[in-house]
Amino acid sequence: MNEFEYCLKHIKIFEAARDVLLKQWMASEDVQKILNSHTITTSFFGKYFGSKVIDYAFGVIQGSDKLGNCPVIGAMLVFFEKKNIPLKDVFMICVNLKNAMIAYALKKGILDDRLLHEICMLVDHNFCGVIEEYLDLHYALTVTHDSCTLDTKQVIHTETVCIVSPTASSTSALQYIQDAYIDYEILEELSEIEKETVASFNFSKTISEEIISDVIELFTKYAKMIDRLVEFRELSYALWILTDLLKNVNMEAIQEELLYMRIYIKAIISDLSTWRVSVFIDQNAEDIHYLDKTLLSSIAQLQIMLSPQEDNNIEDVEFF
């Protein structure tokens, strides 16, 4: 029996109102105030996170997604953590999705005590997972590998990879490769594109549109490969956001940040290369996820740099 049977009964109504729910969520005074205070536009959040969270909620209702296991939320929380957004603000953003769903159900005349209970259970139980993961991002000490920081005085990327002791639940590369389907032709292609992209970086002291094009190709190839690997969905989604931002970057508008952008991109390429070799080629990683947090952190920092700073009127925002 589906634990969200009353939500499922009205799923077509909710799906038809997807864009309405998103705009109502983003139009919340609390959400706008919080996002604006952290220089996050509602259009950016709605497009890359909000719309996907709603899709995930619908997937949970229909049984295609598991409650509390959303890769989009994982990528979103890393972005929030790098923005130093307090947990109370994360709570207010999440709770306003519930408010939007309840208000819409009430408007459509379908809200009763059973549907209200399921909507609350859907968002609240998922938020329990959000709290746990967000606290882990702040306080977990298992991963100590340094990533780039947005320090405008000094930016240092260390090439040293921290060796993380495996936990009881970790999966080694050897174990993982036995059960996963790996396309080694794609791995070889990634290696070649990596070499060409790094060579372009080393040849030039700045970032040209040609180099950005090479980076987009490389990150897109990685994202497509990782899409096939269920265990790395957060990393895949973070890369898709980054490639989309790179495609639309205004180079003239970020001239002062090009040096840092260059450093972040090289750091991400270096970590992706290390991850690819240690997990899929040498297969000597004791935990296939040992670089996840470092990669997500560096990607999130570059996303922050490339994200828009000014918002449109919420009624004019195109999320899809």
In this prediction the pTM is 0.81
Domain boundaries of the chain, sorted by first residue: 5-140, 173-306
CA triplet 67, 70, 71: central angle to 5 degrees?
160
Q: Is 301 exposed, middle or buried (0-12, 13-18, 19+ CB in 10 A)?
A: buried
Alpha-helix residue ranges (DSSP H) falling in the chain: 5-9, 11-16, 18-26, 29-37, 42-45, 51-62, 71-82, 87-107, 113-139, 173-179, 184-203, 209-227, 233-247, 258-276, 292-306
> Both ends of the chain: CA-CA distance in Å?
33
Measure CA 166 to chain center.
Answer: 24
Q: What is the model's pLDDT at position 204?
A: 79
Spans in the chain with pLDDT lower than 50: 141-168, 316, 319-320
So what's the pLDDT on residue 12? 97
- CA dist., res. 12 & res. 15, Å (int): 5
Tell me the pLDDT tens digit for each residue of 221-245: 999 999 888 889 899 999 999 999 9
- Residue 17 has what DSSP assignment? T
Residue 173 confidence (pLDDT)? 94
Q: Are the C-beta atoms of 213 and 274 separated by less than 8 Å?
A: no
* Region label for 270, one of left (φ > 0), alpha (ψ between -120 and 50) or beta (otherwise): alpha
R_g of the chain computed on alpha carbons: 21
Among 214, 191, 195, CA closest to 262: 214
Residue type, 303: Q
